[in-house]
Amino acid sequence: MVLRVSEVAEVLRVDPDTVYSMVHRGELPVIRVGRVFRFSRDQLMQFVEGSHA
C-alpha cells in the first residue's frame, strides 16, 4: 500500500510540512513519482517501530 504525505502526517501525528522536512533530511524512506512523494506503508511502519525502540 502506498501513502500520500497527508496520510503519513496523520500516522506520525505531525504537520505535512514536517513530513516534507523529514524527507529532505533523509529521515523517511520515500518513493518519488515525478515531483510527488509517496510512501510505502510497510516501510513507514518499520520507521515508526524503529523510532520507538
pLDDT at 22: 96
pLDDT at 51: 76
Phi, psi of 4 (to 5 degrees): -90, 170
Whether the Cβ atoms of residue 28 and residue 47 lie closer than 8 Å to each other? yes
2-50 confidence digits (pLDDT tens): 999 999 999 999 999 999 999 999 999 999 999 999 999 999 999 999 8
DSSP string, 5-38: HHHHHHHHTS-HHHHHHHHHTT-S--EEETTEEE
Q: Please give the model's pTM, rounded to 2 decimal places.
A: 0.87
